Amino acid sequence: MDSLKYSAKPLSVGEFYKNNLKNILNYAMRERDNYRLYLLAGFCYKKMGNYEKAIIYFTKAFKQNPECFEAYYECGLCASKLKDTCLSVNSFIKAIKLNPNHPYAILNLGLAHEMCEEPDMAELIYSRLIDTNPEFVEGFIKKSELLMSSERYDEVIDILTHLVAKDISDGRIFELLGNCYKKTGKITHAQRALRKAATLTANINVYKSAKKSLKMLSALNTSKNLKLCRAK
C-alpha cells in the first residue's frame, strides 16, 4: 500500500471549466427559464477564452432576467475583448442603469468609448467615476492617461498631486506625475517622482518604465552639464 502513489493529473483551467460547462448545460436543458445557469455557462465560456459563446449565454441570461447586472457587465467585457465597441458600450450602459455607481462598470464604459475613439465622452465618464467613487484610484489614473494623450500635462499634474496629498501610495501615480513633470521641463520634480514610482510599485512594467525615464533624464542632465562646461 505504501508503494501506491496518486497518479491522477490535476485538471488544467480549461479542462476544469469545460467539465463544469457540460453539467451546467445539461441542467439548462431541463431548466430553460433559469437565468443563473445561462450566466454560469457564460462565465465558463469566458474563462475558456470563447468570448463569442460567452456573449450568447450572457445574452440569454439577461433576456431571462432583465435585472441581472452581471449578465450585462460580463457581456460588455467579452465584447471589449472582441473589439465589438457598439455591443460593449450598450452593455455597460445597461449595467450602469442597474448599478449606477459600480466603479468597474463606469471605468469599462470609459475604456469602451476610448476604443470608439470618443475621448471627450470617455473624459466625461472618468470625471463621473471620480465624482461617484473618489477613493477609486483607477478613475484618476485613466483620466490622467487620457489627458496625457492630448498633452494636457498641467491638468494631469493637478489631478495627481491631489492624490499624492491624500497619501495614496501607488507607483503608477508617481510614474505618470514624473512623466508630466518631464514633459513640462521640471526635471528635478520628475526625477523625484520617478524614483518614488520605482520604489513603491510592485508592477514590473511600471518599475522598468520609471527606471528607463530616470536613465534618460540622467543622460540629459549630463549632456547639459557638459555643454555648460564647454561654454565656460
Band of the pLDDT at 13, cuts 50, 70, 90?
Answer: low
Task: Give the integer Cα–Cα distance in Å for 98 and 69.
Answer: 6
Least confident of 36-45, 140-149, 173-182, 197-206: 197-206
Residues 6 or more apart whose CB falls under 8 angstroms from that of 122 comprise 110, 111, 113, 114, 146
Band of the pLDDT at 60, cuts 50, 70, 90?
Answer: very high
Task: Give the integer Cα–Cα distance in Å for 165 and 232.
Answer: 42
Band of the pLDDT at 138, cuts 50, 70, 90?
Answer: very high
Across the chain, mean pLDDT equals 87
Backbone angles phi, psi at 164, to 5 degrees: -60, -40
Taking residues 61-81, report their average pLDDT: 97
**So what's the pLDDT on residue 220?**
64
**So what's the pLDDT on residue 31?**
84
| C-alpha grid cell, residue 57 | 449565454
Residues 6 or more apart whose CB falls under 8 angstroms from that of 59 comprise 71, 75
| C-alpha grid cell, residue 92 | 455597460
Taken in order 168, 174, 180, 182, the sign of the CA dihedral is positive
- The DSSP output letter for 9 is P
Least confident of 98-102, 152-156, 160-164: 160-164
